[in-house]
Amino acid sequence: MQKIVPFLWFDDKAEEAANFYVSVFKNSKIENISRYGAAGPGPSGSVMVVEFQLEGQGFMALNGGQPATPSQAIALFVNCETQAEVDVLWERLSEGGERLQCGWLRDKYGFSWNIVPIGLGELLSGPDAEKSQRAMKAMLKMEKLDIKELRRAYDAR
C-alpha cells in the first residue's frame, strides 16, 4: 500500500478524468470505483471515488459535489525519458487546457502538470554556471520543453 496518495477533487467528473489520465499514460489502470449509497451526499449509485494508477503511482479522484478549484501550488511533475514522450504527454494533457511556460500546463480539469525531459536538472545546475544560464534563458522562452534546443543553448560558445 502506498503511504501517500494524491487525492484529486472534482465536482462530478472524477470518473471521466481518471479515464482520461489512464488513456494518456502507459502502464496505468482504474483500480476501483466506489459509489454513493442512499445516505448520499451524492445521488445513489453515482460515482463517489475512483482509485487509479498512472505509471505505478496511486491516485484517488473524488466527486465532492462542491466545486473545488485546483491550485497551482501543487502540481504533478512528470519525468520523461525521451523528447517523443514529452511531445505526446504535452499534447494530450494540454488538450482543452492551457499551455504555460517552461514545460508547465494546466489540463482541462484545472490540474497543473510539469512535463520535463530527464537531464534538464543537469543542464540548469551543471558545473559551468555560464552554460547553465544559457540553458535557463532558452527554457524561459519555451512552452513545451525541447531537450535538443536546451542542450544546444547549453553547449553554445
Where do the CATH 3.10.180.10 domains begin and end in the chain?
A: 69-157
Q: Give me the mean pLDDT over the 119-136 stretch.
A: 95
pTM of the model: 0.92
The answer to whether residues 112 and 102 touch, using CB atoms and an 8 Å cutoff, is no
Give me the CATH code for the 1-68 domain, please.
3.30.720.100
Helix (H) / strand (E) containing 122: helix 120-124
Burial class (CB in 10 A: 0-12, 13-18, 19+), 84: exposed
Cross-strand pairs, 98: 106
Top-confidence residue, 156 or 68: 156
Where do the CATH 3.30.720.100 domains begin and end in the chain?
A: 1-68
Q: Pairing relation of β-strands 76-80 and 112-117?
A: parallel
pLDDT the model gives residue 157 = 77
CATH topology of domain 69-157: 2,3-Dihydroxybiphenyl 1,2-Dioxygenase; domain 1 (3.10.180)
Does position 70 have pLDDT exceeding 90, yes or no?
no
